[in-house]
Amino acid sequence: MIYQRTLENSVAISGIGLHTGQRINMTLRPAESGVGIIFHRIDGDKVVSIEARSENVVDTRLATVLGRGETRISTVEHLLAALSAYGIDNLHIDIDGSEVPIMDGSAAPFTSIIEEAGLHNLPQSRKFLAIRKPITVIDGEKRVSIIPSRFFRVTFDIAFEHPCIALQQRSVKVSPDCFRRELAPARTFGFLRDVEQLKAAGLARGGSLDNAIVVDDERILNPEGLRFQDEFVRHKILDSIGDLSLLGYPILGHVRAYKAGHNINHQLVEKILSTPECWQLLEFSDKNLKEALSSNVPAFASELALSKA
């Protein structure tokens, strides 16, 4: 995927907002090279546009929230993960609510509409953010780092004192096929005690067993059970892909995370952006892409005829 990409056609999707419980309509429209991913919050005659970039993140407590002025768009991570995995760099997203619809709690509905719309390569090449030196963020027990790699890989460990979750670990090299099969169907999850507290606070009004895995102190409450034995850690990887896409560039690096969530993911993005000595923007040509993928990791950037951005 050396060229920038958008959708071939516009496509629409509707669903319930996790926190508002309101019906939300969203349309994904093709965009030109260099536009980026832009949300257009439509409220009557008023339209507020918000770029999907780290500087527009205003909250990471319950989800990743983008904002501009008083306008907010919440729970963007599942959609952004799907767009990132499919290599979509440029897109207009029209949305008439304050949060991306939760759908079934996974990214599978978004992969479906992306494939329905089709992919369109644009004439301008992509710029990749290639990690050259390790970067680490530690927040209490939580830890996330990124090290040099020829590919975008995520290795994630979670640890919960719960019999249905316990310790889970998974490592994936992110690609459209891998995302579709191994990550997109994994649903968000929560503990019953937390869901009850959120609803008492006027949040999670749209939350149900139809759009989340819910566990009490001992068991999974969803009658259909899990889609994967390790669905919990798979969803954490999905979230991290969406959060890290807010760098604004596809990544060449290996993310290693332990007990990470939206907040520390955002901290990693901010630390990457603030330490330019640890990375390089690379622009591949048709000729040198094949060489890059077959070269040794420590030397692949310096040995190739790569254009510095």
Q: How far apart are CA 4 and CA 124, in angstroms?
A: 6
Residue 84: name the closest of 183, 11, 12 by CA: 183
Which pair of structure tokens corresponds to residue 192? 């019953």
SS3 assignment, position 72: strand
Q: How far apart are CA 298 and CA 244, in angstroms?
A: 23
Any idea how long the chain is?
309
Residue 262 is among the residues annotated as catalytic for this protein: yes
The dihedral formed by the CA atoms of 62, 63, 66 and 72, expressed in degrees to the nearest 10? -50
Which pair of structure tokens corresponds to residue 197? 């507290």
Which pair of structure tokens corresponds to residue 20? 């508002």
| C-alpha of 140 from chain center | 23
SS3 assignment, position 32: coil
Q: How far apart are CA 113 and CA 10, in angstroms?
A: 9
For 59, list phi and psi in degrees, rounded to 5.
-160, 145
Known catalytic residues are 262
